[in-house]
Amino acid sequence: MDPTLEVVVPVFNEALVLDPAVRRLHAYLSDRFPFSWRIAIVDNASTDRTLALADRLAEQLPGIRVLHLDQRGRGLALRTAWLSSDALVVAYTDVDLSTGLDALLPMVASLVSGHSDVAIGSRLLSSANVARGPKREVISRAYNLILRVAFSTRVHDAQCGFKAVRADIARQLIPEVEDDGWFFDTELLLLAEHNGLRIHELPVDWVDDPDSRVDVRRTALEDLRGLLRVARRFAAGGGRLHLGEERRHPFDDDMGRRLITFATVGAVSTLVSLVLFLWLRAPLGPVPAVVVALGATAAGNSWAHRRWTLGRRGRAGLARHAVLSGGIALVGIAMSALALAAVGAAGGTLVAELVVLAVVWSATTALRLVLLARQHRRHGSPDDG
């Protein structure tokens, strides 16, 4: 009978910790896990006694299989084990078991129930219980902030070594993942979100392994290169999967949830434009200053509304949105320039200039909201292309 869950443990030269870690995992699954399971130890070209110890564990304990690879790479280990698995759900944990195993059951349950497609542990949710040094904390938060800004991802912690995927979903996602190293996790999650799959993120207990041999700096640079590669791929319209019945289509809405995002983007854009206007007003004059200030924020405003307010990625509808946003920006610039010219002709003060700009920018914002809402209703959800 095929197991419900297969937990993959990728290892490279882990002879010192492999035996106690696998025995601990095995005991937890045997005593406290209600679904059928299997453990897969994947040896990534170890040069110590790791493979021999893994084979011995498989002989001594039921429910363990061992795979040996001649090449290194955590992503390669997960790719190989997950694609060869006959389990309903495939998961993995780092061999140091830094993540508390009590999170495994709720993570797997969300997949077995059909509620979610991918489930991940998170060290960055407020209710997570984490102990680690400041250097790794800062790097992790900075990396995940880049993800949230650049990809508008809702995932808080893409790098936690504790994840699970429905096997049928994994078989569709993994062939599209290009990385075989540490970036494998992030690329898998970005592809999942890009295709509208539901990711369940739950807080974990996590204690940093002081003996970790991960080269944080090199890994971070490789991850950044991976992010650029994926961003270019998505921008070119790539990364779309034909998921059939597995694809989730968002409900139609009236942009109720998007109004907060719209207001936030508008407030930030207005503040930047105002600061630029005040800074440039004296050397350039009011009219040139407002033209430069609004022109400087137009592209960023358009990008932010498309990515965050409308939730759209890729090239589908990009030209239409660019034309719409460009038109609104030109109207706003023209109206602002004419209003300031009129104030100047009447001998108005800075206060008068700010008042008319407030009126004009409010009108432009209202126009933008109406047109974005119409665009959202007319062209459907992001997943409809």
As given in the structure block, the two tokens for residue 255 are 């942009």
- Under a CB-based contact definition with an 8 Å cutoff, are residues 108 and 35 in contact? yes
Four-CA torsion 208, 214, 220, 223, nearest 10 degrees: -110
Rounded to a whole number of angstroms, the CA Rg of the chain reads 26
Residue 185 designated active-site: yes
CATH entry, 5-246, from 2.130.10.10, 3.90.550.10, 3.40.50.300, 3.40.50.2300: 3.90.550.10
Phi-psi region of 13 (alpha: psi -120 to 50; beta: other; left: phi over 0): left
Report the pLDDT value the prediction gives residue 163, as an integer from 0 to 100.
97
Tell the burial category of 112 from Cβ atoms under 10 Å away from its Cβ (0-12, 13-18, 19+): middle
pLDDT (tens place) for every residue of the chain, 385 residues total: 789 999 999 999 999 999 999 999 999 999 999 999 999 999 999 999 999 999 999 999 999 999 999 999 999 999 999 999 999 999 999 999 999 999 999 999 999 998 999 999 999 998 999 888 888 888 888 888 888 888 878 899 998 999 999 999 999 999 999 999 999 999 999 999 988 899 999 999 999 876 555 666 777 788 889 999 998 998 888 888 887 665 665 555 556 667 888 888 889 999 999 999 999 999 999 999 999 999 999 988 888 888 777 777 666 667 787 888 888 989 999 999 999 999 989 988 999 999 999 999 999 988 888 887 777 666 554 444 4
Q: Which residues contact 125 (CB under 8 A, 6 or more apart)?
A: 156, 157, 201, 202, 203
pTM of the model: 0.74
262-284 burial code (b ≥16 CB/10 A, e <16): beebbeebbebbbebbeebbeee
Residues of the chain with CATH 3.90.550.10: 5-246
- Residue in 326, 306, 325, 302 with CA at minimum distance from that of residue 316: 306
Q: Which residues contact 111 (CB under 8 A, 6 or more apart)?
A: 89, 117, 118, 119, 164, 165, 166, 200
Report the pLDDT value the prediction gives residue 370, as an integer from 0 to 100.
84
Report the pLDDT value the prediction gives residue 215, as an integer from 0 to 100.
65
CA distance 193 to 118: 10
Catalytic residue among 117, 179, 185, 223: 185
Four-CA torsion 186, 192, 193, 199, nearest 10 degrees: -90
